[in-house]
Amino acid sequence: MCRAVSVVGYWDCPAPFMRIISAVTSLPRHYYPQAVLLEAFRRHWGKRLDRFEVLERLHAATGVDGRYLALPMEAYPLKNWGDANNFWIETAIELGQQAICRAMQETGIAPRDIGAFFFVSITGVASPSIEGRLINRMSLSPRMKRIPIFGLGCVAGAAGLARAADYVKAFPNEVALLLSVELCSLTIQEDDLSVANLISTGLFGDGAAAVLVSGGEHEGPEGPRIVATRSVFYPNTEYVMGWDISEKGFRIVLSRDVPDVVLENLGRDVDEFLADNELARSDIGSWVIHTGGPKVLEATAAALGIRNGELDASWECLRRTGNLSSASVLFVLEEVMKNRRPDAGTWGILAAMGPGFCSELLLLKW
């Protein structure tokens, strides 16, 4: 409640806060070790690649043990983009429902408590969008606000979380739902022998994550508070990451400059963000960072000056599932919340970077 004070027109109100009360992931049932996937690419590309050992080295360098795929390996390559997108819709609904059900069950949140549904993905398109289809399928509230977000790529998990926090800051008695579904295997271009596509075939996997964010007036489970958020856009960096879209679907754009952009910008952005909240890097005891890939994680550690295992959760998630684009940082969040939870009162940073090029930062207090 706000309390009136002597200054005319001024209201003394407690600062609103937002909590992450659940982070739950869901994976397809089709899992393949990296060696099995590499052998499949050998059968498909072996005669067209002059030096197959180049692909072997690229895959070995990803630090990924294996990946989950939306479809059985025998179903690839897909005939056309239409088929791939139909499989994306079908699998996104299935994985999304699994993740949301588990998130609601573990928190006791009822459908009527969810005021907004944010959906992020960059690996498929649908209209009605996936969150609308899930509202029907799961009998969620018909008054729920729908916010589908496309195009942010790897940064979208953090950006969606920040936008969910914005929502419950404005509606503190409600809960916002964020769902990320990325099915990267459905975007592979079978005729693209560029280095970017060869790397992506060894790095990216499939998965989904659901996160519930509650406002300060909603009674429910405890979780890390979202104290502040920061979005940073880097002008004239569109070439760094994204898609070229044609009748064949999504063709990956992945510049070798990605680690350099991280090195040049992330440390400065984090320092400015923390300073605006009267903190410094030395105050941060927990780092929830998008998995990216080995070079990106190494650049992140160098940019932030952290070298004592602070990114172990990100490395572990990368090893287990690969890079899941927007879902990756939410997989790391789940890992930290369930298996590496910091002591109460610990300050933390959740961060991701992606197409634009841009970064999204969240200041957490555990």
Annotated catalytic residues are 154
The residue type found at 272 is E
Range list of H helices, 125-257: 130-138, 156-170, 195-203
Residues 14, 329: Cα–Cα separation, whole Å = 30
Angle at 106 between CA 102 and CA 109, to 5 degrees: 95
Q: Among candidates 262, 197, 223, which has minimal Cα distance to 19?
A: 223
Provide the 3-class DSSP secondary structure of residue 173. coil
Residue 361 bridge partners (DSSP): 230, 351
Distances (CA, A) of 192 to 35, 197, 236, 244, 331: 21, 6, 26, 12, 29
Sign of the torsion angle spanned by Cα atoms 241, 86, 48, 199: positive
Q: With contact defined as beta carbons under 8 Å apart, do 289 and 299 qualify?
A: no
Distances (CA, A) of 140 to 89, 97, 114: 19, 11, 8
Range list of H helices, the chain: 34-45, 52-60, 81-107, 130-138, 156-170, 195-203, 258-276, 294-304, 312-321, 328-339
Angle at 58 between CA 56 and CA 59, to 5 degrees: 65
Distances (CA, A) of 271 to 12, 36, 281, 301, 349: 30, 43, 7, 14, 11
